[in-house]
Amino acid sequence: MTSTRSALTLLAAAVLALAACGSDSTSSTTPTPASSGGGTDAAAATLTMSGRAFGSVTATAGQPITIVNEDGFSHTVTDRDGEFDVKVAGNATGTLTIDEPGTYAIFCTIHPDMAGKITVG
């Protein structure tokens, strides 16, 4: 009985470990931008869209930017010079990575009055 209990304990631990490695359910779109709040940590670069407005974002070149759309409808993060165009569904996330430093003027092609900028150092 002790060996059966040990085997069940090992099996339960393995199931929990595999569950922790499961995939996330967020939608992801390529290319890749940066983060809000000026963080430069690879995990911290986030551009939030809420209330039909862009938050501010600063990232380092090549750093993935998580795009969080908190609105219930789709938006795009589109560079005015045509470098990138990322569509993110309502209440979803996407990613963008910019390899060249600079300041990128962005807007939403669906809601052209939405405008902002991404700063990449």
Domains in the chain with CATH codes: 24-120 (2.60.40.420)
Residue 113: pLDDT above 80? yes
Residue 42: pLDDT above 90? no
**Placement of tokens 């862009």 in the chain:** 54
What's residue 44's pLDDT?
74
Q: Is 116:93 a contact under the CB 8 Å cutoff?
A: no
pLDDT in tens, 48-92: 999 999 999 999 999 999 999 999 999 999 999 999 999 999 999
DSSP 8-state symbol, 53 = -
Residue 2: pLDDT above 70? no
Residue 7: pLDDT above 50? no
- On average, the pLDDT of the chain sits at 76
Q: pTM for the whole thing?
A: 0.65
Residue 40: pLDDT above 80? no
Q: Pairing mode, if any, of strands 92-97 and 102-107? A: unpaired
Confidence of residue 43 (pLDDT cuts 50, 70, 90): low
